[in-house]
Chain A
Amino acid sequence: MKWKTEDGGWSPYLAGALVGVLAIVSAYATTQWMGKTNYLGASTTFVRAAGMLERTVTPGHVAANEYFTKEKVRVDWQFMLVLGIFFGALIASTTDKSFKLESVPPTWQERFGPSTGKRAVGAFLGGIVAMMGARMADGCPSGHGLSGMMQLSVSSFIALAMFFGTGVIVARRLYKRRGS
């Protein structure tokens, strides 16, 4: 087993294990400094971002919305965590030269061609559906997949199986050319 990949990345076993350590340290640190154990997650931040954007146009509407009130529209721990992911990936990719401007990923291009517009529409519509699903399931591959599984939550075992099972079925239909 190699600890480095050909392109200078780390073995997924090593990088994953380090995220496991980070999750443990983070659970401890948030309990100590915030008074409540916080687990890694990402999708609630998109609700807060939507609320903040809407609030600039219709503040009253956001204040009256039950879901925004429930999830509390503010820049909290998780919001900064999601922002941090951007900077962490930026630092990692620019220091090992894996940073690359990409408008259409290879697997997409093979099936749907080099059009950036098509890719943009796919990513946008996929994003809408995925986020509605993540909010309905109350978590994404971070909140359910990592944090929930680590805690042995029943809901996370089922959610992760549904995420991946559906993903496999849809991806197979979407990216495999007929006959291949």
Chain B
Amino acid sequence: MSIDQLLGLITGILFGFFLQKGRVVRFDKQVGAMLLKDMTIVKFMLSAILVGMVGIQLLTGAGIISLNHKAMNLGGVLVGGVLFGCGWAVMGFCPGTSVGALGEGRWHAVFAIAGMVVGAAVYAELYPFFKSTILAWKDFGKIGLADVLGISPWLIILVFWVGIVWLFVWFERKGL
């Protein structure tokens, strides 16, 4: 095993461990969030983002790591986002959690995983078509929010923290 693969495996084991401990990999938690009844996965994701964004910004600012924004391709993000949302609601897993759900015994995740492999194969076949249609509408490139707004990323992080902590307090008050 190469160093890349070993590093990926160790990171994945820890990722899967935390995902399972947070109880976010199972169908009922995912659909529960979409039905706005159980905010477990929202709390989990936003907590990860709050912590992660500070560290990523510190390391980027110090020149230790580099950012790798995903391209702001308007058609891709909008149409792809809607397609993902539709499939996600029916499947009740996302690509990462499907594998974790299988690990905790929810074996119907194998059908979701098989579907996603087929979906990836279909996408690969249709890629030239999408590239000349939906993905060709408008591509803003790899852009970050701080550059677009022309403000310090720390200001965005501060606003994000205040807003999310307020949201968490509200979740707890409502018992969500």
Contact = CB atoms under 8 A, between A and B. Distances in A.
B7 to A, nearest CB: 6
B117 to A, nearest CB: 5
A144 B71 CA distance: 11
B139 to A, nearest CB: 10
A174 B45 CA distance: 24
A124 B115 contact: yes
A13 B47 contact: yes
A17 B7 CA distance: 21
A107 B106 CA distance: 14
A148 B25 CA distance: 20
B113 A65 contact: no
B15 A22 contact: yes
Contacts of B96: 42, 82, 85, 140-142
A127 B22 contact: no
A51 B171 CA distance: 43
Given A9-B23, A124-B111, A127-B87, A65 B124 contact: yes
A85 B85 CA distance: 22
Interface string B107-136: 111011111111111111111101100110
A98 B104 contact: yes
16 contacts: A11-B22, A22-B11, A24-B52, A37-B65, A47-B124, A51-B124, A81-B11, A87-B16, A127-B114, A129-B119, A130-B91, A130-B95, A135-B80, A141-B97, A152-B153, A153-B142
Q: 6 tightest A-B contacts by CB?
A: A84-B12, A127-B115, A166-B85, A88-B16, A162-B81, A130-B87
Interface of B: 1, 3-28, 31-36, 40-41, 43-53, 55-57, 59-60, 64-73, 76-109, 111-128, 130-131, 134-135, 140, 142-146, 148, 153, 156-157, 168, 172
Interface of A: 1, 5, 7, 9-24, 26-31, 33-34, 36-37, 39-40, 42-43, 45-47, 49-51, 53-54, 65-68, 75-93, 96, 98-108, 116, 119-146, 148-159, 161-172, 174-176
Given A84-B9, A88-B103, A153-B145, 16 more contacts: A12-B23, A12-B43, A13-B47, A15-B18, A15-B21, A16-B48, A20-B50, A21-B55, A90-B103, A92-B17, A125-B90, A130-B91, A133-B86, A136-B123, A142-B94, A163-B85
